[in-house]
Amino acid sequence: MIATASSTGAAPALTHLNEEERMFRAQVRQFAREQVAPYVREMDEHSKFRPELLKQLFDLGLMGIEVPEEHGGQAGSFFQCVLAVEELSAVDASAGVIVDVQNTLVNNAFIRWATEEQKRRYLPRLATDQVGCYALSEAGSGSDAFAMAATATEDGDYYVLNGRKLWISNAAEGQIFLLFANVNPAAGYKGVTAFLVERSYPGFQVGKKEDKLGLRASSTCELLLDGCRVPRANVLGEVGKGYKIAIETLNEGRIGIGAQMIGIARGAHDAAVAYAKQRKQFGKTIGEFQGVQFPLAEMATEIEAARLLVYNAARLRDAGQPFVTEAAMAKYFSSVMAEKAASLAIETFGGIGITKECPAEKFYRDVKIGRIYEGTSNMQLMTIGKKLFS
């Protein structure tokens, strides 16, 4: 197990990591570099995350960071989730996604809204050996998340779910699905309800796996619901209040996306700097030319600025303070910044930068989704704008 810091007590200053957090970050970084890095290219090419590494993520406690100890977790903080996602994403963003979705979306929702019986039944599994998925998106509901067509009809002690979900991260490995469907479509978003669906339930099927540009080792699949019977006891929160769970969970999830983007940017930037120190042209390393130095210096500054935005949002969340605007700022800025960083890394490498042999090529492919999922850049600007003019 990787040691975690207690989430109790006053939050440290923004830029400060306490000793436990520094140790935690160092351990995750070591794991990423020593255990994940050797398989990054293979996993990307085959679009499959190694089961052995997934087991290690569980064994190290990285799939249940905030889960209470009595439910098999680490009883850590949300901030530690951010640190873990950043460090993993600096090596392989697909590993970062797996840990991010499990912690900031699925576990987070269980901890906040599940009944005690639901927690006893599911949290130990999520913390120790079963992947969780967050199933909100559909073909017709992206930014307009509540224009969903999936329905849930009452039938005695069950709800019968029908519909189709798309772009569900980690679904190929998933066993427990936090899935949203509408119990009263005429009521619009006020009919949206969150259900806990197990992979083994009749009428539930994981469908086509997407062939993606980036994050290829993190599976993204459709889910098919054809008369899927879900026990009434598996409603998460209140019937018709699923929209509240979705909105609030995604606000926290956006901080996790920010951490992913910092990690990708840092990985791309580090690779570019290392290359600039050894690549020679005109009798000197290219890093000795200001034309190479200055863009990389600017990028280092923007990476640090993004890190402070993300860390600040995570600290506010742990302290129980308002953070919605800060989360939107962190997600927006970090995703824009990371795309620039990955592009600059390609240019620093020159012609080799667009080949599969170059690490920058993968960072460049992985980064694009950051401005799209869990709220597009325009949606983040809307959130920030509403705060400015409220």
The encoded tokens of residue 206 equal 């994981």
Beta-sheet strands, E only, within 170-285: 174-182, 192-198, 204-209, 220-231, 235-236, 280-281, 284-285
Taking residues 152-164, report their average pLDDT.
98
Task: State the CB neighbour count (10 A cutoff) for residue 34.
Answer: 10
CA of 188: how far to CAs of 212, 250, 269, in Å? 32, 19, 45
Question: Counting Cβ atoms within 10 Å, is residue 280 exposed (0-12), middle (13-18) or buried (19+)?
Answer: exposed
Beta-carbon count within 10 A of 13 CB:
9
pLDDT of residue 142: 82
Residue 240's φ and ψ, nearest 5 degrees, are 80, 0
Side chain identity at residue 131, one-letter code: V
Q: Which residues are part of the catalytic machinery? A: 374
Q: According to DSSP H, which parts of 36-76 are helical?
A: 40-46, 51-59
- Cβ-Cβ contacts under 8 Å for 173 (sequence gap 6 or more): 49, 54, 98, 131, 219
CA 387 to CA 223: how far, in whole Å? 35
For residue 6, what pLDDT band results from cuts at 50, 70 and 90?
very low
Q: How confident is the model at residue 16 (pLDDT cuts 50, 70, 90)?
A: confident
Q: Residue 10 — very low, low, confident or very high, per pLDDT cuts 50/70/90?
A: very low
Q: What is the pTM of this model?
A: 0.95
Q: What is the mean pLDDT of residues 181-186?
A: 97
- What value does the mean pLDDT take over residues 111-136? 98
Distance CA 81, CA 108 (A): 11
Q: Is the pLDDT of residue 76 over 60?
A: yes
Question: What's the confidence (pLDDT) of residue 146?
Answer: 81
Instruction: Using CA atoms of 361, 362, 365, 367 in order, give the dihedral in degrees to the nearest 10.
Output: -110
Q: Hey, what domains does the chain have and what are their CATH numbers?
A: 19-131 (1.10.540.10), 134-240 (2.40.110.10), 243-388 (1.20.140.10)
CB 266 within 8 A of CB 90: yes
Q: What pLDDT is stored for residue 14 in this prediction?
A: 47
Q: Tell me which residue of 307, 311, 376 sits closest to 145, measured CA to CA.
A: 376
pLDDT, tens digit, 9 for 90 and up, residues 256-312: 999 999 999 999 999 999 999 999 999 999 999 999 999 999 999 999 999 999 999
Rounded mean pLDDT, 186-195? 96
| 98: nearest Cα among 146, 68, 60 | 60
Instruction: Name every residue whose Cβ is closer than 8 Å to that of residue 223 and which is 6 or more positions away in sequence.
Output: 135, 164, 165, 166, 168, 171, 177, 179, 204, 205, 206, 207
Residue type for position 179:
L
Amino acid letter, residue 98: I
